Each structure stands twice: as C-alpha cells, then as structure tokens.
Structure 1
Amino acid sequence: MARKWLKQEKRTKEQLFDALVKNALGFVETSLDHVKERPKNSIVDLYTAIELFLKARLMAEHWTLMLSKPETAELQNLYVGDFLSVYLDDALKRINSILGEKIDLAASDNFKALGEHRNQIVHFAHSGHDDLAATQAGVIVEQWASWHYLYAMLTDTWKEVFEPYKIELQKLNHRMMRQRDFLSSRFTILKPKIEIELKRGKTIIACEHCELKSAVVNKVHPWGTDYSCLVCGVSDTAVVKADIKLPCPGCNEDVEFFDAKFTECPTCHFAFNTDALIDLCTAHIHEGDQWWEGGAEHIASCHECECPRPSVFYIDGLWSCVSCFDRGWQAVACERCGEFVTGDMERIKYFACHKCEDQVRQGIEAMVAAGAATEESQDAKEQP
C-alpha cells in the first residue's frame, strides 16, 4: 500500500470547488506580482490558473470529469484530496465533447501555446526568456491575450458557474488593465514591424483591447472588421459602430447607448445595465429588417451571450445585441421551437437554434439508442 505523506482534511464537494477556484484566483494574483522581477514565474503561475479554472468548470458539471481517469473515481478519495486531475488538453476536450461547450479556437490555441512556454521554463532553459527587459514585455503580452480569453469565459460563457467570484475577478481584471507601461513599450518596439505592414498595403486600426493602433486588418464585413493585434496578441472583430441615439429615461437627453463601456447617462447619471438597455430599446425600436413582417416578433434572443431576456434589436441596419454588443447575425423564427433567435441560419435550419438544441440533441440520442436496441433484438431473434 502506498504511503501517504500528506494528511488531508476531509472536505465536501462544494468546499473543494471553492478551494479550487480560490487557488486559481491566487495564481492569477501571483502571476501579476511576478511580472517585473520574476517574469518566468509569471507565465508558470498564469498557466496553472488557467488549468485550475478549466478543472473547476468540469467539477461544476460533475466531480468525476476533472479526474484523469473518471472510471477509477472514489468519492472518499475526493473528500480528502487524494486524486489525479486532468491536464489542459483533456480538460479542453471534455468541455467540448461532454459539456457541449465549444471553446473559441483562438482561446484554446493561446492556452496551449502558454502551456508550451510553461513546460520549456519548468523543464528546460527557455531561450526566449533570457533578457529580463524583453522577457517582461513578452510576458505581459502573453498575460494580456490569455487573460482576455479566460476572463471572457469566466464572466460571460460560464457566468452562472463563477458568479460568486465576480468581485475577485473584476479586481484582477482591473490590475491586468493597469499594465499600460509594458504595452506602450511593446508598441514602441513593434513600430518598425507595423510600418512594414503598412507598406505592404495592410490597414492598421486601433485594437479594442490594448487600445493601441497596432491591429492588422484581416477581413472587412458589413458588421465589422476582423483584426489581429501585433502588441497584445488578441484576434477579434471590431464591430461597426451603431449610428443611433435614444432618449435617456432619466432626463430625456439623447444618448449613444450602443457601447459596451456605456454604464450611465453623462447628463443625469441614470444607471444603464442590460435590463435598462433592453427596456429602452423595447420602448423605441419596433421593427425588424427587410425580411420582417409587420406585427411579427422583432426582438430576438442572442445565441452569443444567451441573455435570459431577448436582447437583439434591429439597430442602424444590423441585428444588434444590447447585452453583449455583438452585431451582424441574422435573426429568424426557429421552425422547431418557434423562438425568434439569432445564429447560423444553416445550423438553425438543419439542426436547431440555441434555445432548443439540447432538446433536439437528446431526441436524436434517444432515437439512436432505440434503433440500436431494436437492431440488437432483431439480431438475437435471428440467432439459432
């Protein structure tokens, strides 16, 4: 029998989940603390935090999912912390295949790249992190990009799971956003590269994340511009600004409300949250696009943020969500459930919308299982 060197206090699943998340938050904190003096440690700590948050998401679904071998799970071992948990790759696969939650490819690629750097630092001499000044600049860029994806997942995609830690996450986000000096230095270093891109005919715009004019335009759509930032490493879409104003309920002054940073009226300081924006648009926007028929539903449910209330209105020529401020998707009444939703039209037509996809998937699985059972029964009858 293997000897146990550490004696663990027995804890409930809820206490273990809380400890897991708080441990992850702590590693983000130390990652920020280490940037200036110990940048290599900063990468290791941030990667550890990412792994812990992914494990916490799996544990929130079912505790066995975060184990490296769920088939060997024993609840008593979990209570005392005696188990082996999954690594990054398996965690990403399980979130996608078992939970049915698709993590953005750019996010998963970023996490994996950070993991490779972490492994080089821990196990070998990382040749790219020898010069302290250069290392600091490089680490802050990696931190910025990784945190961009992670924070969006924790506060949007998995909002309900990590809601109790909202304040701690916001504090860490504010700390991350304060690291402007590093980004400015990085911008200065990369100016020659930006100039080369301009000479090649590329368009450079301001990145919506680091706010520096260092984003190379990849493709332009009616709803926005796809770009990749050379400074902070984030790839995103700069959504076309909505040219519309509506009267503030507090003072009746017109306000440019379609902005993720808009939280209050500049005149009377009336507070605007998602519900207030939905109420404002409901009172003033009563029509849809050219495919819309008078009297039909004109407020759609957003498949991107899945806001509990229908939050997508036809604003300045595009279906636009006042919860996540995404724009440009089509809106249609789902033929299966009747809900008016946004999303990929082919997926909605041939499979389901985000409102009914779980039900449709369960129905398909039940049909497949029933078919398999019938086939087995028929085979049994045919056997001599």
Structure 2
Amino acid sequence: MLTPDQSAPQSGETPDTSRQRKIPLDELLAGPPDQLDYPPVRNGVDYLVSVVDHLTNDRVDPRGIKYAVLHLQAAAEVLLKARLVREHWSLVFEDPGRASERDFRSASFKSCTIGEAVTRLRNIVGVTITDAEERALNALARDRNALQHYGLTHNARAVEARAGSVLDFLVRFLDDVLLPKLTFGEALAVQTDMDRVRDGLTGVQTYITQRLRRLRGELRGLEDRTVACPHCEQMTLVAEGRMNRCLFCGAAVTTKDMMVYIFLGSPEEDGSIIDSCPRCGQDTVMLDTELATGDRAPFCFNCPGALPPADIPRERP
C-alpha cells in the first residue's frame, strides 16, 4: 500500500505526469510509429492479407488478379525461406557451401529459388510438401514471371483458381510448420491478419465449390472425356478433338497445345508420357490420364476417348 508521501506527486511532477499512461497492447506490439518492423512470418502473412483482399473483392478484375499473384509469390518465398532460416541461415543461400554470416546479416547474397527451397525443406528439414502442392507453386511462379516480363494473358478465373491452391497450401504451412514455433508476442501480432486470411481462403474455396456445383449438369454424360484443365487445374476440360474447352475457366486449348503442356509437365525421370493412337494414328495419347469418371487410362485427345492399355503399341520408355 502506498503511503501519503509515496502517492503524492514527487518533485518536478504534476498530478497528470505522475500517472503513467496505460499503453494498449496493439500499440506495444506495433513498435515506434516510424519504424519498419516486418519479421519474415509477419511479412509473409501481410502479403497474404493483400492476396485475399484482391481475390475476394465483389468484382475481381485483372488488376486485382495481377497483384494477388505477385503478392502470393512473395508470400510463398518469404514463408518457405523463413522455415529454412529457422533450420540454419545458410540454407537460404543459392550455394550454402559459400554462405557467410556477414553476407546473411547484410542481405548481400543471392538466395535459392522457391523450387530449391521446396527440395531443401523436404530433404533436409523433413517438411511434407506434396507433389500437387509443388506443382501449384511452380504454376504460380510461371504466372508471376509472365506478369513481370510479358504481361499475363491467361483467363483471370484460371489464375484465381491456381492462386487459391497455393493460398490453401500456405495457410496449412503456417498452421503446421511456422505458427506453432512463434513466441506469444509474435503469434499475437499476426493473429488478426491470420483470421482475415482464413476468412478470405474460405471465400475463394466457396467460389470454386459453387462454380463446380453449377457445372455438374453441363458435364453430365461427358465424364469419359473430361480431364484436368492445364490452366485452372480443375477437372472440367472437355476433350473435343482439335479444340478442347474448359467449362470452369473458359480456356480453349488446341490438342497440339495440350501435348505441349503434357510434355512440359511430365517429370524427366518418367520418360515420355505421350504415345501414338492406334485408332487415329496421331501422337496425341497421354498415358495414365485421370478422367472425371475416376478412372485412369491412356487417352487420345485427337479422337477423344480412353484406350485399353493393351491397345498401346509400345511400352513406355
């Protein structure tokens, strides 16, 4: 208990100045008003807030999609590398063998790519990243490069759907890998933003789900020649011969272009996954194609339809 002397204003104090102002918690966490304070995880989450703001506008326009892609790529890079740094700071260098702490502290180094970060997270850190998640990250990187250097010309809904896949992965990565290791203060600093990101992700997923539900009627009866679209990655591309159309994103893909997408997207160690068709004689068969029926089979895009595996004239290399 304070005595009368202790509670009275001391020399040089007035009754106002003797009482300390109660500082709100959010002000304490914010730091000095002119200080730029964005640690990696908080920085990555801030990028994700921008992403969901752009993707969940009432009217998603090409400009919004552009910034969503750019900021999503930045978020992916920041957050994946944040986990590498937690393991050891040298892992974010392009060549960890030539890493120096001085260069790391001054940020004077060339960092690894997102692809290299994924490989190191899997092989060194032991983080689980599925092949589908890796493909989504790679597709995002291609979209980002196209935007930066050439101007993206893909259908906006296709890009939005791909962005939704990466957003879903990054929220899972934050929840499972990064957020549990934050201090109480760090976790509190990103809590509000994470709530916004989760709400935004739900909105993007809801849009995709509702659109797929609306397309069920149009796709009914076409399941045996419906495959995944190379643009939006939804199981809504109807093979029609020379031209194939996606009912989800509206993309029109020639069979020739489809073969290019298949060739570029196949792992080198698997060899060629394109073969000749015994029905039409064209090199337009994709081996082991997933169909909307749930089956997997060799599928010809030139004379649309699945083939019995025994009809393929040669073995895969």
Q: Which has the higher helix share?
A: 2
Which structure has the higher relative contact order (CA within 8 Å, separation 6+)?
2
TM-score, scaled relative to structure 1 = 0.42
TM-score, scaled relative to structure 2 = 0.50
